[in-house]
Structure 1
Amino acid sequence: MHALSELRQARRFVIKVGSALLVQQGKPRVEWLASLAAEIADLRKASEVIVVSSGAIALGAAKLGLAKGGRGSLADAQAAASVGQVELARLWSDALGHHGITAAQMLVTIGDLEERRRYLNASATLARLLEAGAVPVVNENDSVATEEIRFGDNDRLAARVAQAAGAEAVLLLSDVDGLYDRDPREAGATLIERVEGVTPEVMAMASGASASGLGSGGMLAKLQAARIAERAGIALAIVNGTYVSPIARALDGPVGTLFVPQGDASARKAWLGGRLAPAGVLTVDAGCAVALEKGASLLAAGITEIEGDFARGDLVAIHGPKGERLGQGLVEYTAAECRSIRGLKQDRQADRLGYAPRAAVVHRDHMVRT
Structure 2
Amino acid sequence: MTETHALPPSEAPEVLPYDPFDPAFHADPYKVYEKLRSEQGQVIRTAAGVAVLGYKEISDLMRDPRFGRGDGAGVQDTLIPTDEGLARAFMFMDPPDHTRIRSLVNKVFTPRTVERVRPQAEKFAADLLAKLRAEHGSGEVDLAAQYFRPLGAYVLNVLVGVPEKYLERSIGFANDAGRGLDPEYTLSPAELATRMEAREGFVEISIELIETRRKKPVDDLMSELVAVEQDGEKLSETELLTTAANIFLAGFSAPQAMMGLSTLGLLRHREQLDWFRANPDKVANSVEELMRYDSAVQLANRTVLESADIAGVPVEPGDEVFLLLGAANRDESFYPNAATLDLTRVPSRNLVFGHGIHFCVAAPIARLLTQVGLNALTAYDVELVTETPRTNGALAIRSLAELPVTLGEVK
TM-score bracket for this pair, using the shorter chain length: under 0.3
TM-score normalised by the chain length of structure 2? 0.24
Q: Which has the larger radius of gyration?
A: 1
Q: RCO higher in 1 or 2 (8 Å CA, sep ≥ 6)?
A: 2
Counting strand residues as a fraction of each chain, which structure ranks higher?
Answer: 1
